[in-house]
Each structure stands twice: as C-alpha cells, then as structure tokens.
Chains A and B, each alone.
Chain A
Amino acid sequence: MQSGKKNQNSEATGWLMAFPATAIIGLFIIVPFLLGFYFAFTNQRFISPNPTEYVGTSNFHQLLDLGVLTLEPERDTATQEIKKDAAGALTYPTVRSLTRNNPDMPYFNGMREWFSWHSGDNIKVVVARDVVFMKAIVNTFIFVLVVAPLQGGIALLLALMINQKLPGINFFRTIYFMPVVVSIVVVSLLWRFIYSGDNGLLNALLGFFTFGAFKPVDWLGNPATALPSIIAMSIWQAVGFHMVIWLSGLQTIPVSLYEASDIEGATSWQKFRFVTWPGLRNTAILVLVVITMQAFTLFSQVAVMTQGGPVDSTQTIVFQAVQRGYAKQDIATGSAISVILFALVITISLIQRYLTRESNT
C-alpha cells in the first residue's frame, strides 16, 4: 500500500518537475523546428504577399540532386573524327550546353559542374543542382574532421603540460582557459586584424621570427588558407575548455599506477601509452562528442570573417541556412537546410554512440 501511494506521488511530482523545462523546450525549440520542418515542404518566403503552397520535396531536390555527366570529345559532324583545337588538345561541349534546355536529359536541367576528372578521352563531370550547398556540406565535414581530432589532441597536450606539479601552474591554466570566456564575435573581429593580408599581425610576427624569410600570406583572402585560418582560430578559442575536461580525466588516474610503471623503468611515452591513455577512454568520448556537435554548427566565425568566401571556401551548412532563410528571404530553403543538418547530426551521433557503446556503461 505504502509503495503504491509513493508511486502515485512520484507520477504526479515527476510530471510537475519535468513540466517547465519540457514546456519551454517544446514550445520554443520543438514547435519552431516542426514549423520549419513544415516550411521545408512549402514555398514559404520571408516577405511575400503570395499564399504559401505545398511543394513536396522539391526544396530538397533543389539542394541535394546530384548527377554524373560524361563529356565526350567533340567530333566533326561529317567525318566523325575527333576535333582538336589549334594546340592539339581535345575539345569538349560545355556542361551548360547539356544542362540547359536539353529535352534529352530533363533531370540535369539547370545543374552545374561541381568537380570533374578525366577518364580516357572522356571527362566525367559530377553536376549538382546546388553547388554552393554541396561545398558547404564538404567544408562543414572538413571542419569537423580536422577540428575534432586536432582540438582534442592539442587540448590533451595542454592538459599534460598543465598536469605537471610546478609552482604557479594554476596561473598558466587560467591563461589557457581565458579565450573560452571571450565572445566568438569579439574573437573573430580581433583575428580579422591578425590575419590581415598586407599589414596583419600574424604575417609581421612570422616574418620577424623567420628573419624575413616568410612571405606574407593573405590568410582570409586565399581560398587555400581561409578555412584553415578559421579552423586555427576556432581551436585557439575553444581548446582551453577541452583541456580542462582532459585534465579532470588525467587526475582520476591513480598515482599508484605511475609509481608502479616507474619501478618497472617505463619511459614517458610508455607511461602515456599504457597508463594514461587507457585511463582516458571515457573522457575521450565526451571530448569527441562535444567538439563534433559544436563543430557542425559553425557559423559566427564565418559570418564575421569571410561570409563564406573566397569562392565558397568557407561556406558552411548553418551559414547557408541563415543566408538563404534570412538574407535571401527564402525561408523554405533555409528550413530544408535545417532539416538536412538535423538529420546529419542525429545520424552521426547515433554512429558515435554505436561505436563507443561498450565503454558507455
């Protein structure tokens, strides 16, 4: 009897306690998300006098459709011989001539070249309906794949440095953590100065330390260096946070294990490999998951520093969602991007959970 009453009590109290958070998250995150999910299947505009219409999955097709075209060398219409230009090179029809008003290939209508490669005399062209969005997806994945291990690794290195028993070590720990508490917008503005091409601080410092051997680089203005520059800055800003998480992991490893390995004459590397690392497994999973989640939503740095350029080298999924939904007033496409992002991140977190399942006891 007693326990039955208790359960009833816990039923009501449980609901009551969970209610405020559930209601707020439900109303202000889930409902707008579902609303966005609905917009993704319509032609909703930010401002428009036209009524909203259901358009099925066309927004997703616009964003995601891909195809492969094979370009054959042009042949002389009469002789069927392969034509060559003055320099002796083969000539090919343009992609646009095939993807525009071409009744033979209705699926390809309006598509653009994403990338291509030679296969014998032919050229294989991967075409996409929305090349910019494809680049945004690729860049986001690059960002995640580089940042997750690199930031995690550097953070671990810093944690090992900070874990030394030295007087004043707390001072350094404080300093390393400091950028974490500075707004990413502020950080991005400062680094725009630092990365500046002609008279930036970074070029000046690198020039100084290499005695002038270093040639100035236009860090954010060059498609090859823009994304790496954003990656470096993002790591600089966030690494302190993960350093502290590692540090906590390090400090849970019993000192007796290190003492034992000292007795056996282990080198520093052996100690790290066989004592420290195994003890950090759970921490590693936490660090990896948190960094991955954050990395997928890369936005502010891009918005402040590069606006997706130069030549789409820093486009990201969230930046595109905001660009389409807000700046270009196309809420439907912006919402479709949000849905795609959501599906991607959920998939990846499920995979991560599956891969790390044994240790997640």
Chain B
Amino acid sequence: MSTPTTSLKPSAWRYVPLVLVALIFVFPLEFMIMSSLKPSEQLLADSNSFRAFLPVGDISLNNYVAAFARAPVALFLFNSVFITATTVALALFFCSVAAFSFVFLQWRGRDTIMTVLLTTLVIPIEIIAVPLLLLVNQLPWVGLHGFSTGWLNSYQVQIIPFSADALTVYLFVQYFKDLPKELIEAARIEGASWWQIYYKVIMPLAGPVTATAAILKFLAMYNQFLWPLMVTQAEEYRPVMVGLQYFFQLNIAWGEVMAYLTLITVPVLIFYLLLQRAFIASIASTGIKG
C-alpha cells in the first residue's frame, strides 16, 4: 500500500483536486446527517442552499426520538445485524471450503459442478424471488415449537437461502488458484488431512479474500429489501430496509426519514471507518488476483 513518505514536499495545490473530489463524495451523506437534526419544514426549506450542509437553525435530536417512537428501530437493527452476520459467517465457511475443494482436490464431476455453480453468478435475487417464495413455503423446519412446514416469518428464511452464493465461491476460487501448490504438497507429505490443510495452511493465507468476500456479502445482505418484504409478515422478523416503509406515511415526516436513514447507515459507516485499512487492503490484494 502507499505509505506516504515525508521526504516529498507536497505543494498545497496538489490537494485541491483531492479535496474537490472528496466534497462530491461526502455531500449527500453530510446532507442526510444535517437534515436528520432539523424539523421537516426547515429541512425542506434548507434543501436548496448551502444551509443544507450546516447544522443551523432549530437543531435537535427530536427526529431520532420520534423515529424510535414510530417504529421498533432497535428491533429492526438487531434483526438486520443478526441476519447479516449469521449469513456472512455461514457463507464464508461454505464457500471457502467449496472453493478449496474445487481448486485443490480431484474428484469426479468437479469441473461440471463448479461451472454450473459459477454460472448462477448472473442470477439476481429479484428474478427468482417468486419461485423461491413458492419453494421455501414447502420446506420443513424443526424449531422450538416442533416440526412445521413453510419458512415464512422466520430468521432462517432470510439466512439459509443466501448462506452460499456464486460470487463468494468465485472470489475464493480466484484467490486459491494463485496460491503456490507446493504448500499443499508439503502438507500432504507430512500426512495432514484435507481438512487440516484447509484450516491450518490455506485459510490463514486467505485473510484478504475473506475480508473482501465478507464486505461484499455484508452489503448485499444488509441492503436486501424485496425478499424480506415478501417473507416477513410478522414485525418481529423485519429488517431495517422493510422498516423504512414505516416512515412513508401520508404527510411524510422527512426529518424522521433522515434520522432513520442515518440510524441505519451510520453503524455501517463506523464499522467501515474502523476497519477501512483492512477493508481496502483486502480488496486491493484480491484485485491483483483477478
């Protein structure tokens, strides 16, 4: 990565384009956060001037209080985080282990299966949502209340169908392909089993791709809308994006909408800012392997 060296003497003008571009990337988010602090009428009045970016006028956290009163925001956030985290963890395991098998092991049907799986890369959830709904409605489940049929209104219906996907497999396959084969050979000669090689030799080297896959999966899951809308008829299982609909009443309280948008965005932003070095480093090193 580019570690800035102090030996260079930067002139201030080199920062001008950098700052201008930074403003372009920041202004909508700045607008969102500032608006969340203003009453709706002021927010709308401010939205066509530089006041939109400034914490001026009647500033308060009232919108946040109102948002929590309107909808169970904490529940929605919990659901989203729980669903997303579980799915990411499962997907990382299932897909990395499958990719490991595709790249390092020899078995009959391997290439066919891998090709078919990777072809599904081009199928977005929107176009299979309806048949998927009909399918999950027929599936059995054993839970706390015993045996039941149909997965609607549950966490599993939002988790299991997404706990493996072609993109994640693809990322791991691409990464594993470039690892030196000698590592495997050496471990085999020492008598290590395939599972041992997977978690003792390969996965410790797969940090970057794991992080990349985790980020992409996290974003895809956290932002899901159509599917949870179709399968959560009970409030207790709704995630944040469905919760957003609670705010689109007649006479929309835009201040509250902005507060809610901020509430569902800021956790992700903070998570990103804390981990951004690892995030970007990981994507970058996966990129090379492409």
Report the separation of the CA atoms of residues A32 and B130 in the bound assembly, to the nearest whole angstrom: 8
- A46 at interface by CB-CB < 8 Å: yes
Chain B residues near A185 (CB, 8 Å)? 223, 225, 241, 244
Binds A, one of B55-63, B68-76, B98-106, B141-149: B98-106
CB pair A326–B130 under 8 Å, yes or no, is: yes
A18 touching B113 in the complex, CB below 8 Å, given contacts A11-B106, A248-B287: yes
CB pair A24–B107 under 8 Å, yes or no, is: no
- A241 at interface by CB-CB < 8 Å: yes
CB pair A169–B2 under 8 Å, yes or no, is: yes
Chain A residues near B276 (CB, 8 Å)? 174, 177
Q: How far is the CB of B240 from chain A (nearest CB, A)?
A: 9
Among B18, B132, B136, B265, chain A packs the most CB atoms within 10 A around the CB of: B18
- B131 at interface by CB-CB < 8 Å: yes
Number of interface residues of A (CB under 8 A): 100
- Interface residues in B243-285 by Cβ distance below 8 A to A read 244, 257, 261, 264-265, 268-269, 271-273, 276-277, 279-280, 283-285
Q: How far is the CB of A228 from chain B (nearest CB, A)?
A: 16
A178 touching B269 in the complex, CB below 8 Å, given contacts A25-B120, A204-B48, A296-B122: yes
Contact with A along B25-66 (1 / 0, CB 8 A): 111110110000000000010011110100000000000000
Residue among A7, A31, A179, A208 making CB contact with B25, cutoff 8 Å:
A179
- A321 at interface by CB-CB < 8 Å: yes
Report the separation of the CA atoms of residues A191 and B28 in the bound assembly, to the nearest whole angstrom: 7
Q: How far is the CB of B248 from chain A (nearest CB, A)?
A: 10
User: Apart from A35-B131, A187-B28, what 16 extra A-B contacts exist at CB < 8 Å?
Assistant: A17-B98, A17-B101, A20-B94, A21-B117, A28-B135, A33-B120, A161-B18, A186-B265, A201-B31, A244-B284, A321-B126, A322-B127, A325-B129, A338-B123, A338-B127, A338-B128
Residues of B whose CB lies within 8 Å of any CB of A are 1-2, 4-6, 8, 10, 14-15, 17-18, 21-22, 24-29, 31-32, 44, 47-50, 52, 94-95, 97-98, 100-102, 105-108, 110, 113, 116-117, 119-124, 126-132, 134-136, 160-166, 169, 188, 193-195, 198, 215, 219, 222-223, 225-226, 241, 244, 257, 261, 264-265, 268-269, 271-273, 276-277, 279-280, 283-288, 290
